[in-house]
Each structure stands twice: as structure tokens, then as C-alpha cells.
A and B are shown apart, each in its own frame.
Chain A
Amino acid sequence: MNIETRVLQGDFDEVRTRRVVDAHSGLEGACLPILHALQEAFGYVDKRAIPIVADALNISKAEVHGVISFYHDFRGRPAGRHVLKLCRAEACQAMGVDALVDRLANLHGCNAGETSADGALTLDNVYCLGNCALSPAALIDGEPVGRLNETRLDAIVARCRGAVQ
């Protein structure tokens, strides 16, 4: 599931967008499946896709925009080369995730909800990954990591950065 790792140009591809939309528009309640498919294909949901989705589903552009903005998952712009989703919920708090968040910010220059300046890593807060007995837990590019500690975290960040150089 390396949805988020693709190198993104941010170039809008109308033909491909239409193809993705058409592939899912026949489903019952097609809006979320379409948005997920767009995000999987392009790494984010370009605002220029909104009228195409609205058209295919016969709903207003405002409605599509409303859906995109309601859900935490959908991005309006490309993410970094890697995405770390770090669980901030209680079981992970009990095992010290807050200290890891500080370390990410202070040592690695990664703040929640942002992409690091070198474009290597986007850090997202999530609330529970269902790995609460092996907390602190995260997903790195969709793959689970448990029992995070400083060493494991530093290694992940290094790997994300190393992949570029």
C-alpha cells in the first residue's frame, strides 16, 4: 500500500482523472471510493478534479468539496515522499508517544500535519491504529510499526531521508 510514496508532480491529468472517476462512478455511494481512488492514483485530490466528480455523480461541486474537507484522509496537495501516521491516542500516550512527537519536531524538523522542509516526510496525527498492545504505534507508508521508541523512530526518519540521497 505505498499509496503515499509516489513521487508527485502535482500536474493535473484530466484524462486520467476521468478514467479513475468513471471506473468507480457506477458503485452505490460512489463518492468515497472515487476520492480514495483519486488519492491513490495521484497522491492527493486536486481541486480541478472536483467538477469532474460532481458531474459524474450528479451532485454539486460544493457537495464534493464538503466531503473532501470533512474527512481527515483526503489531501488537497501532494504529501512528502513518505508519510508517517503516528497514533496520538490514549494507549500510545500511555507509552510515551508525546515524547516522540517532541523528538520529531525538535530533532528531525517534522511537525504534525506538515511536510518536512526537504520534502522527505509528511507527519500526520491519527487516533488509534488498532495496535494498542504494542504501542506507541504508527504506519509508515501504510505499513505498521509497533513498540516505537527513539531508536526505531530515528531509524525510520533516516530511511525516509536516505532514500532521496
Chain B
Amino acid sequence: MSARVYVPIDSSSLSVGAEAVARAVESEAKKRGLAVEIVRNGSRGMMWLETLVEVETAQGRVAYGPVEASDVASLFDAGFLTGGAHKLAHGVTDKMEWLDRQQRLTFARCGVVDPLSIADYRKHGGFTGLEKALALAPEKIVEEITASGLRGRGGAGFPTGVKWRTVLQTRDAQKYVVCNADEGDSGTFADRMLMEGDPFTLIEGMTIAGIATGAAKGFVYIRSEYPHAFHTMRRAIEIARAAKWLGAEIAGSKTSFDMEARLGAGAYICGEETSLLESLEGRRGQVRAKPPLPAVKGLFGKPTVINNVLSFASTPWIMSHGAKAYADYGMGRSRGTQPFQIAGNIKQGGVVELAFGVTIRELVEGFGGGTASGRPIRAVQVGGPLGAYFPDKLLDTRLDYEAMLAVKGMLGHGGVVVFDDTVDLAKQARFAMEFCAIESCGKCTPCRIGSTRGVETIDKIMNGVEREKNLVVLDDLCQLLTDGSLCALGGLTPIPVVSALTHFRDDFSAPRGVKLAAE
């Protein structure tokens, strides 16, 4: 009997040498005349342990990490194929505290299964949500999703069930399901991890949405910065189609649903839903005015369900376990779980799926173990490039949609980026403006021009040129962006800027000469 060894094929694992590790395991086994079967799984989300190699043993899967190709021979020497002791060993993976403390619903299979094996997917409960959905009237599915309290995970937190209902109620024969896999927010990678590690869950979720709303065609729009996710999704779609989980009369039913993966082309704004639709139609990704809502007039002018990867990927669990089981997680109006992503200057970064309501501190100190540099945490940015920078005194804030708003931030896609005490928040504020200038779709003047003015103004402030006057100018600019922007790129860029000004004002009057010289 051959030993089964798991070596992830997730982009993060690949970025630190997983391919070489897989090859080393193969050649070392051959050299020793040992039979091993290597499974290329997704990531478990413990990125600091990548490449995390697992071995199937009688006690369960045992983890070793971070493994480099040069460690492989010593792993064989230590008898890792039967779970032998080694300095990189972590015991049974599922019992590792970092994983064990999580509430993995959406990510239950990610890193566990072979991403492209339907048999493995089925064995781990895959497609049971879809089977339930196929037996229900569309209204019932929409009711279930509504009752679960699921809100859009792409950033705006709009109730998913309400959106689906709007599409269901339209009369058009042609409707679309579009998955927003643009995942442009810096500090976020849960969509990517899911698409690379458990793509059938996204396919299942989009299919459920198709059944619920009467749409037979889906697109998943994946950013071009994710070549591996795109490749995996494309293959998964082909495999699902060959196995009749996509296409005409799926799973022997009367329902048809098929989908395609499409590649973005490097534009942050294409994460905004109307811009994404423009892009899918083959145009410049310029934001459309709403109304009409995409749910009424979306892709090619047809009613369109557009949701984030994680929103769709949550629905199979909801359908198979029931709305109530899902809604039992969470707090206030934020129900269920959120895959938080801990990143930046962090010792133990990765994906932590937990019920809403965990504090920022619990994530960055509890799970994250503090900074990678070993220096004190000075600022934490939550919610991507349009999210606020929080100082230590706000780290006990709970992560849910409303609690974030109350401290003038936003949850966004659940990204949590940590900075140590060498960070310069004036520089970060400047970057927020610069990013807005680079990525503006150009439709509104405040966003297009105001952001560049913002960069210049912060430069003046940083250089001590009429500092007080320019701080007032900056305030005015922020107000202008907030009031005069069509979409949240211009509209929310002031959030990081204002949070930096509010919580880290000293950085704006620091004697630059000294600081800049050190950079």
C-alpha cells in the first residue's frame, strides 16, 4: 500500500517552493523504493507554515511545515510517512490549535480535498446543497438564503437573499449569474484560496443561484493577477461539465446551468459590479450609474445576480445544513462566518474563518502571534485599500459590519493588514490617494482629479509646506471625494486618509528629513 502525501498547489505554497518540495518527495521516495501517492491539495490557510506537507496516517493527517525541498530527505529519515517525529512536525493537522479554534464552514474542504477530484468533493459532502436545491422551488431556495442572513462578502454587505429575489421576480427568459472574483482589495486572498483549493464549491454555489433565480448561464470574472486560480477554475468547470454537474439537465434533473471563467485585465475598478459587467461585455471598465440595478438590468442588459466568490461559496453549506444552522453563527445583523485574512507584517498569517464578532486583537495577536518583525504593532488596516487604519486602542473592536462602521471603518472583504511601529501613516494616507488616482475609472472629476490633488497636498504636508493650511485643504478634498463620487473608489478613499489623520496625526507633522533618510 502506498502512503498518501499532500503537497499543496496553492499559489502561496508555490511562492515558497511547493513545486520543488513535491518533486523532492517523489524522487526521494523512488530512491528509497517507497511507494507514495502525492496529492496536490489546496492550502489549509496557515501560510507561515507553507509548504505544509501532510501525510495520511492511522491517527489522521499529520502536518509538517514549513518544508523546503532540502528538508525532504530528513523527513524520510524521520519516518514521516507514518507520522514520525521531526522538528517540523505539528501533529494531527485538524487538532492544530490555529485550525481547531476556527469555525470552518465555507472553507471546510479547502486544503483537505484534491481540488479537481469530484469523487473527493462528493466524499466530503460536496453537491449535497445543490441536490437539495434541485428538489426545491426557486422561491424556497431564496427564502432559505434570506433566512440565513447571508450578506454579500464582497464588501457592501447587501443581503444576498434580497438580491436573488429581485432577479427571480424579473420576467426575462435570459438571465445571468456572475461571480465577482476580482478580489482587488490588498490584504485579501480568501477568494483565490477557495478557487484554487475547492473550486467545485464555487461552481455549486453559482449553480444554486442559477436555479434560485432562473438563470442558465454563469460567468466567473477572475482577476489576471491570479493566473493559477483562473487555470484551476477553468479545469474545474470542464471536469464538472464532463461529470454532468454543469450543462444541460444537471445531475439528471430538468434544470440546465453552465458557466465560463473569464479573465480580468488589471483594473481595480473592475471589482465594482457595474464596471465588471462593462468589462465582461468587452468594454472599458467604467462604472454605470445605478439604477437600474444589475439585478434588473445587468450583463448584456439582462437581469443578473452578481455576488462575490465567498457569498456564492457559502450557499452550498446553507442549503445542506439549513438557514438556521448558519444564522446561529455571528452577532447582530452579521450572521454566519467570515473568512478573515491576516496579512502584512504578521508572524502567523493566513485565513481564519470565524463567526462575525471576533475582535481585531484576537486575530492579529491571538491567531497572528504579533508582527513578523517582532516589533510592536502600530496600525492595522481592515477592509482593503479603502479601509481604515486602526491604532492599538481600537483593536478590541469587534469585526462585524455595523461595529466597523461605528469606528468609521468598514469590514470590506475581511482583510486585516498589520504594520509594525516603523510605519509612517502619512505615507500610507498618501498611498491611498495615489492608488485612487491610478485606479480611477475617470468618470467623476473629484475622483479623477481630486485624488491627484490629494497626493500633492499630502506631499506638501509631509514636507512642512504651509502645513495647517494644507491640512484644511486635505479635509476639504476628502469631503469632496465623499460627496461627489459615483462609486466607492472615490467615495471611500477618504476612509484610510481620515483614519490616519485622526489616529496618527503626529505622523503628518513628523520632521521628515530624518524619517525619509532612513527609508
Contacts and interface: CB of A to CB of B under 8 A. Distances in A.
A135 B344 contact: yes
B356 to A, nearest CB: 21
B244 interface: no
A26 B45 CA distance: 39
B451 to A, nearest CB: 14
A146 B15 contact: yes
A139 interface: yes
Given A67-B284, A71-B266, A95-B345, A130 B189 contact: yes
B168 interface: no
A1 interface: yes
B263 A127 contact: no
B47 A133 contact: yes
B267 interface: yes
B417 A94 contact: yes
Given A85-B225, A145-B15, A71 B267 contact: yes
A128 B417 contact: no
A57 B349 contact: no
A130 B192 contact: yes
A98 B20 CA distance: 29
A132 interface: yes
B266 A133 contact: no
A51 interface: no
B215 to A, nearest CB: 14
A73 B263 CA distance: 11
A134 B349 contact: yes
Interface in B315-355: 341-346, 349-350
Contact of A134 (B12, B191, B417): B12
A29 interface: yes
Interface residues of A, number: 47
A41 interface: no
B234 to A, nearest CB: 12
Interface stretch (B120-128, B154-162, B275-283, B504-512): B275-283
A23 to B, nearest CB: 15
Contacts of A72: 265-267
B418 interface: yes
A22 to B, nearest CB: 16
Given A33-B262, A89-B385, A133 B48 contact: yes
B187 A132 contact: yes
A99 B396 CA distance: 32
Chain A CB count within 10 A is highest, among B225, B267, B284, for B225
Contacts of B341: 132-133
Given A29-B281, A29-B282, A132-B417, A142 B227 contact: yes
Contacts of B284: 66-67, 70
Given A90-B417, A132-B188, A134-B16, A29 B47 contact: no
A40 to B, nearest CB: 10
B282 A57 contact: yes
Interface stretch (B99-107, B144-152, B178-186, B290-298): B178-186
B387 to A, nearest CB: 9
A157 to B, nearest CB: 17
Contact of A89 (B15, B186, B300, B519): B186
Contacts of B285: 70-71
A139 B225 contact: yes
A57 B47 CA distance: 44
Nearest to A94: B344
A132 B15 contact: no
A5 interface: no
A89 to B, nearest CB: 3
B189 A132 contact: yes
Contacts of A144: 11-12, 14-15, 228
Contact of B300 (A28, A91, A137): A28
B180 to A, nearest CB: 14
Contacts of B231: 1
Interface of A: 1, 28-33, 35-36, 57, 63, 66-67, 70-74, 85, 87, 89-95, 98-99, 126-135, 137, 139, 142-147
State the 8 A-B residue pairs at the shortest beta-carbon distance, nearest first. Answer: A133-B349, A31-B282, A146-B15, A89-B186, A132-B343, A72-B266, A71-B265, A94-B344
Given A127-B184, A130-B192, 6 more contacts: A67-B283, A72-B265, A90-B428, A91-B344, A95-B345, A139-B227
Interface of B: 11-12, 14-16, 47-48, 50, 183-189, 191-193, 224-229, 231, 262-268, 279-286, 300, 341-346, 349-350, 372, 381, 385, 415, 417-420, 423, 428, 431, 435, 438-439, 519
